[in-house]
Structure 1
């Protein structure tokens, strides 16, 4: 059988890595007890696969091959530090070095089996380690996308429109911070897990939010980021089935992503909610989202912040039109969300819902309070919403001022075009 082309082999490596990287890094971290070392040797195994597979062909057990190479790299590291180190002895016995695995690397890998009792714990520990509170939010996002999502530094840099060197620096700094803080690679005890779960959920939410509405660039939606966040949320829901907010976040992501097919037109231009063709919404995603929301309600004592946002998304998902949406219920849920997780963005979204339920005048007072507080002074969303309300109230000149400010603050090219179109319509 001829060896695959370089391109085909590289694609095979990339596909295996994207699917299995979290389990591989997690298993290596468990074996070595060193999170930073595990990530480094996993990357070395990936680099070796990119050389070996085009030449020799992909092994029958690709994940096992990568794990074996990673283990052998760990042995090399421990050898260099201490030839008689206990960790080296344990790893050598585990590999059966000089015994059953004495053939070539690819032959050895065929017999490597995953430990079915450890896989879930490994991935869960990986999530909690990469999202540890000692790290900055930017570092958590980069590290999670790297070690749990399997993205390369270049892919992460492209997603967030920053230089690859910046991403690599964040990852390197994060691993050093975890080492300096002596963060153990383990699934935290139940009480500690609940405390740190919010950090994990926040990272997944930030990734999805950037994918749902890109902060900068020419694309409104970054499907690669949004899809990766959904995948991480699904994994977490399987690993922590009794945590209501895990299901609440998954429901929010599914219900929001269900509208993606109708959110952009043929040329990629944004399509606002009241103009979207709801027949294009992903009904399977809506069913998954509603099922996750029901699960959150079932296992919890009332919905948390993510669950409440999912309940709002459900109101939109089940309504046949904007006019038929239960806006009174949406307002009530936003009020509950504002009490549970106060935020100026929540207040701004509540104002939009109030404008639909009670008219623009009632909503404008909420928005004016936000303007006075100056909490969203650098966001284009506040002048955008205020401009829309002023248009509906017939105050065109004031609306023009607000929309011009929104255009100046908006970093996404597609959304800026929508705002400029509104300005042109005013003229």
Structure 2
């Protein structure tokens, strides 16, 4: 059986080998199939024969042979001649071709081509750049393997004829934004699974972090790349504290912070601090800054909610969308009271994008509970429970609703007054308020902490 270290090595080498083949010979679909066959061959042979001295050269040689075999099997004379040429020029297993660059960034750009749907971009990125098998990707997304295989095959066919080259300067920012969004989607599905019995899927969060680290290595001066990596690290640092022994969801206010990964928190804070100091703030940097404020708080009661509200105000200005508003409303509720938060949520009840979203109902439920409106809160908890497809979230919401079953015997929860000061956060000085008695918000939305975990 292949060791974990060897498996990680294979996955890190997969995009390097694929990039070399595509750069040399074109035909992304055929090259990707050949690399997958080479990875399978390594998984079978390396445990018995040992890892070769030059693993990349070994994979490149095997993939090249698979490629030439496929081409030689075709009847067209042109393809046979091309196959012979490829075989004649293929490097030996231990040869390290000096001209072979790391084409991982170009592969990411190609896999996140705007012609592909987001679901196809995610699947193709995990396979071509992440080195995951179709079966692994299908398992992670609770999708039949045949369905995922067809999705990946269609995506590769759609890219036939696309140039394997860096996008033009005019297109680069948009293409990089698409890459970051795909990595964000992969992480978010792993951190808060959209369905199934588990709250989180570590294989997806781990892969998203690995790929984003790789992107940060390729683009060390890009503030948003650093911001996204920081956001992932700061968020994933809570993973062990987010669920109980049986997988039950534990909200942020009730988490044992000694179980947070402090090394990941420190790395994330360092990354976002440097990014904000060196480049204009972007949406990922601001979300990471919010996560950093949570990470720096000794406990939930010491969270700087005014500072978080100020950061959300900036985020809402740079990248307005309903989920940002939802998070901002939750933070405002902690700073100014539940009714202030509920007022910000009101427009979302009439927005088609969020009106039937379980996170809106869940956050409204908690703010209504804080306001002492227990019957209304219970109804919203039950609505959220019906709308979500995540089993842990359903159980959590049902538990909250059950606790409010006898609303007349419950006393309203009151919000404490805030004290305000001026505090310094990475890259800026913002107005801050602290809540000695802050309460948990029901469910997180996107990565930031106003929700659960």
**In 2, distance between residues paired with 1:63 and 1:385?**
49
Q: Is 1:91 aligned to 2:107, yes or no?
A: no
The CA deviation string for residues 193-212 of structure 1, in whole angstroms up to 9 with x for no partner, is 22210000000000000011
Contact in 1 for aligned 2:384/2:397 (Cα 8 Å): yes
**In 2, distance between residues paired with 1:83 and 1:253?**
48
Partner of 2:187: 208
Question: Which structure has greater helix proportion?
Answer: 1
Q: CA deviation at 1:119?
A: 3.3
Contact in 2 for aligned 1:13/1:49 (Cα 8 Å): no
Q: Is 1:405 aligned to 2:383, yes or no?
A: yes
Q: Is 1:112 aligned to 2:95, yes or no?
A: yes
Q: Secondary structure at the match of 2:301?
A: coil
Of 378, 383, 395 in structure 1, the residue corresponding to residue 356 of structure 2 is: 378
**In 2, distance between residues paired with 1:24 and 1:408?**
46
Contact in 2 for aligned 1:387/1:399 (Cα 8 Å): yes
Q: Is 1:138 aligned to 2:131, yes or no?
A: no
1:299–1:192 distance in 2 versus 1, CA, 3 Å: farther
Contact in 2 for aligned 1:31/1:91 (Cα 8 Å): no
**In 1, distance between residues paired with 2:216 and 2:4?**
29
* Correspondence 1:231-250 to 2 at 5 A: 231-250=210-229
Of 214, 222, 244 in structure 2, the residue corresponding to residue 265 of structure 1 is: 244
Partner of 2:64: 71
Contact in 1 for aligned 2:193/2:390 (Cα 8 Å): yes
Partner of 2:307: 329
Q: CA deviation at 1:274?
A: 0.7
Q: CA RMSD in A?
A: 2.1
Scaled by the length of structure 2, the TM-score of the pair is 0.84
The CA deviation string for residues 67-125 of structure 1, in whole angstroms up to 9 with x for no partner, is 101112233344444458785565344326xxxxxxxxxxx41x22153x5432x1111
Q: Is 1:153 aligned to 2:148, yes or no?
A: no
**In 1, distance between residues paired with 2:211 and 2:391?**
28
Q: Secondary structure at the match of 1:119?
A: coil
**In 1, distance between residues paired with 2:301 and 2:4?**
47
**In 2, distance between residues paired with 1:52 and 1:253?**
35
**In 2, distance between residues paired with 1:84 and 1:18?**
30
Partner of 1:101: none
Q: Secondary structure at the match of 1:186?
A: coil
Q: CA deviation at 1:306?
A: 0.6
Q: CA deviation at 1:285?
A: 0.5
Q: Secondary structure at the match of 2:159?
A: helix
In structure 2, runs of 5+ residues without a counterpart are 406-453
**In 1, distance between residues paired with 2:205 and 2:144?**
20
Of 121, 124, 127 in structure 1, the residue corresponding to residue 105 of structure 2 is: 124
**In 2, distance between residues paired with 1:161 and 1:366?**
35
Of 355, 358, 362 in structure 1, the residue corresponding to residue 336 of structure 2 is: 358
Of 26, 37, 57 in structure 2, the residue corresponding to residue 33 of structure 1 is: 26
Partner of 2:52: 59
* Correspondence 1:273-292 to 2 at 5 A: 273-292=252-271
**In 1, distance between residues paired with 2:265 and 2:48?**
45
**In 1, distance between residues paired with 2:313 and 2:294?**
17
Contact in 1 for aligned 2:379/2:401 (Cα 8 Å): no
> Which is worse superposed, 247-256 or 61-70?
61-70
Partner of 1:4: none
In structure 1, runs of 5+ residues without a counterpart are 1-7, 97-107
Q: Is 1:187 aligned to 2:182, yes or no?
A: no
The CA deviation string for residues 14-68 of structure 1, in whole angstroms up to 9 with x for no partner, is 4443232111211111121221121011122234445555665553333322210
Q: Is 1:45 aligned to 2:38, yes or no?
A: yes
**In 1, distance between residues paired with 2:5 and 2:265?**
32
Of 384, 394, 401 in structure 2, the residue corresponding to residue 423 of structure 1 is: 401
**In 2, distance between residues paired with 1:203 and 1:382?**
24
**In 1, distance between residues paired with 2:119 and 2:23?**
25
Scaled by the length of structure 1, the TM-score of the pair is 0.89
Q: Is 1:178 aligned to 2:156, yes or no?
A: no
Of 263, 277, 296 in structure 1, the residue corresponding to residue 275 of structure 2 is: 296
Q: CA deviation at 1:296?
A: 1.8
* Correspondence 1:307-322 to 2 at 5 A: 307-322=285-300
